Amino acid sequence: MAQIKLDGTSKVFGDITVIPPLDLEIGKGEFVVFVGPSGSGKSTLLRLIAGLEQVSGGRIYIEGRDITTTPCGDRGLAMVFQSYALYPHMTVRQNMAFPLEMAGEAKASINRSIEETAHVLDITRFLDRRPAQLSGGQRQRVAIGRAIVRNPTAFLFDEPLSNLDAALRSSTRLEIMKLHQQLGATMIYVTHDQVEAMTMADRIVVLNHGKIEQVGTPQELYERPANLFVAEFIGAPRMNRIEGEAAAALGAGTIGVRPEHIRIVQESGLWQATVEVIENLGAESHVHTRSDVAGPLVVRMSGSPGVKIGDRIGLSPADGFVHRFDRHGMALR
Amino acid sequence: MNILRWLVFGIAAIAMNFPVIVTLITSFKSAKEIAMNPGLIVQAPTFANYARVLTDTSRFNIYAYLFNSTVAAFIGSFLALLLTLPAAYAIVRTGVGKKHLLPVVANLRAVPLVVFAIPLYMMFQFVGLLDTRIGLGLILTIVNLPLSLMMMVNAISDIPGEIDEAARMDRASAFVILRRIVGPVIRPAIVTAFIFGFITAWNEYLFGLMLTTRQAVPITVGSSFFFSASGGGVQWGIASAVMVLGAMPPAILGCLIYRQLTGSMTAGAVKG
């Protein structure tokens, strides 16, 4: 049985439909990532589940119980906010104690929970500090700690790493993944970063204009995108999009080939192109080319590229890795 | 350059505070010296004026006036905060009243208070609040409402909405959020609004003059009684001593404001 179920859930602000009616089921212990560009409705969807926004239509169920109109505090969910949202006048200990005090727990039990959680997150030495005395990463750990102490049915994360620098983002990402394995709890995680989505999720929900474009494992989304939007959104560098004659030749309105699935063949090849820019990242290179018939194409190669700017090269897609889409951008199987 | 700067500062400070300095000096002069020596140097300092004011309470009781002012000013500043804190919270978080109500209330400050005086006198007469400390306190509350509301709205606006949402997720009610989260976070603003309100209420003269006669006379009105305390001409020494005593509570509170204006309680609450 799904632990969290959205049944025709929708949200309208004034005349604007932010989330058209959608259905979604999230299983117990799953790590589900809502991903999409700005304005795709991913945060709104999370806030509907949290109860911070009221739904305009449909129902929401948690463990079979209809919680559509239940106040956010009574849904058994804990949320970690993008900006941490710690109580600035309270110490870390008081921040973590607050939800337990609100739940009416005994002081001894509160202290025990805080100590255990602080140990798990390695924030014991910060317990008597205030948020202003902590770094960004430490604050985020405290925010996660405040969520954990409640022992919620599910954790909701609203872009929790956006305010951290690249190195810290990467390490905190790993910590959240370890935490998920350790706690085995259901987690719903919102991000606009497809790398976060790919690396963390059991399942990814790709949203665009409030609509679910595709739900699947990271591998499914990468290998079998349901449409052009998903194909281009998942994967970095983004999938090459080829239209016109080159696509028609393969019986499609549009074709897509991932940069790692195009080979450089010196003389022949399906498409002739000129090398325009080379990005050398050390372990791999991104060769930006312009093809006579297929337009701009990016090729991802391991190690050094072996070509230079201005070279005329032939490009061929790897067999079985050409994605075909119809005129409406839907995948052709 | 530095000397010039200090010189300008010194002259400005003396010029701006000259009336206060003269009043203070006069309060230490005897009636005879006031008549003979109008200068700023006191030749024979005396506490006689203060002693007279503080001990001779048969006709005009400064303790009663100070007590009346304290009670009325406390009601006027505390009640204003009690009303404006939840109102400001609702305005900021729901947006209700932000467009029309807030400007109207804020502009009450611009209306001359005397406009309210006659209808209020009649209303107070009707409900029996004339010459009562509570009645005066209620009027002072209205006087303080606009500034207090503006200060609360500004302070609460600085608290990120996500903090409220985090508290709501933690099962806190609106009242608990106000009492345990918003209130403590904007404590400096609350204290500042209270002190400003108290000083404004303490120094209020018009309503004290119109709405009180014997029982609830505040120090501002009571001070004027001492001008001719002994009959005959104005007793400048006694009047100065009363004014110095009456100005001391708000002056001390004024100094306290500056300690509250430093630092921001929201530091570290959100990103950064």
Q: What is the rounded distance in angstroms from the CA atom of residue B29 to the CA atom of residue B235?
A: 11
DSSP-assigned beta bridge partners for residue A274: A290, A312
Nearest neighbour of A131 by CB, restricted to B169, B176, B268? B268
Q: Do A79 and B167 touch (CB under 8 A)?
A: no
Domains of chain A: residue spans and CATH: 2-230 (3.40.50.300), 240-332 (2.40.50.140)
Distance CA A219, CA A235 (A): 11
pLDDT of residue A250: 83
Question: Structural domains in chain B?
Answer: 62-260 (1.10.3720.10)
pLDDT confidence tier of residue A299, bands split at 50, 70 and 90: very high
Task: Enumerate the residues of chain B whose CB falls inside 8 A of the CB of residue A146.
Answer: 166, 170
pLDDT digits (tens, 9 = 90+) for A239-252: 999 998 888 888 88
pLDDT at residue B2, as a whole number: 86
**List of chain A residues whose C-beta atoms are within 8 Å of the C-beta of residue B165:** 52, 72, 79, 81, 85
Q: Is B170 on the interface with A (CB under 8 A)?
A: yes
Q: Give the tokens for residue A75.
A: 């849904």
Instruction: Using DSSP, state whether B183 is helix, strand or coil.
Output: helix
Q: How far is A20 from A23, CA to CA, in rounded Å? A: 10
**Whole-number pLDDT of residue A225:** 96
CA B197, B202, B205: angle at the middle one, nearest 5? 115
Query: Quick one: A167 exposed, middle or buried, by C-beta within 10 A (0-12, 13-18, 19+)?
Result: exposed
Position A261 confidence tier, pLDDT thresholds 50, 70, 90: very high
The Cα A265–Cα A44 span in angstroms is: 47
What average pLDDT values come out for chain B (272 residues) when binned by 10 residues?
A: 90 92 93 87 92 87 95 97 95 90 83 85 93 95 92 94 95 95 92 91 93 93 78 81 92 76 50 42
Q: pLDDT at position A50, please? A: 97
Q: Which of B160, B170, B265 sits opposite A102 (nearest CB)?
A: B170
Asked which of A139-153, A210-224, A265-279, B171-185 is least confident by mean pLDDT, the reply is: A265-279
- Whole-number pLDDT of residue B100: 87
Handedness of CA A226, A229, A234, A238 (dihedral sign): positive
pLDDT band (50, 70, 90) for residue A187:
very high
* pLDDT tens, position by position, A100-114: 999 999 999 999 999
At residue A37, the pLDDT reads 93
Percent of residues in chain A assigned helix, strand, coil, to nearest 5: 30, 35, 35
Average pLDDT, chain A: 93
Residue B194's pLDDT is 92
At residue A155, the pLDDT reads 96
How much of chain A exceeds pLDDT 70, in percent?
A: 99
- Rounded to a whole number, what is the distance in Å from the CA of A100 to chain B's nearest CA? 8
B181 touches chain A (CB under 8 A): yes
- Contact criterion met (CB < 8 Å) for B271 and A89: no
Please identify which residue in the block is written with the tokens 């300690």: B259
CA pair distance B48, B54, nearest whole angstrom: 10
Provide the percentage of residues in chain A whose pLDDT is more than 90.
80
| Cis check: omega of the bond before A237, within 30 degrees of 0 | yes
Q: What ipTM did this prediction achieve?
A: 0.87
Q: Cα separation of B146 and B161, whole Å?
A: 24
What per-residue confidence (pLDDT) applies to B260? 64
Helix (H, G, I), strand (E, B) or coil at B267: coil
Burial (CB count within 10 angstroms: exposed 0-12, middle 13-18, buried 19+), residue A59: middle
At residue B224, the pLDDT reads 86
Judged by DSSP in three states, B97 sits in coil
Q: Tell me if B219 sits within 8 A of B68, measured CB to CB.
A: yes
Q: Which among A72, A85, A163 has CB closest to B163?
A: A85
pLDDT at A266: 73
**Can you tell me the mean pLDDT for A118-132?**
93
> Cβ of A83 and B271 within 8 Å?
yes
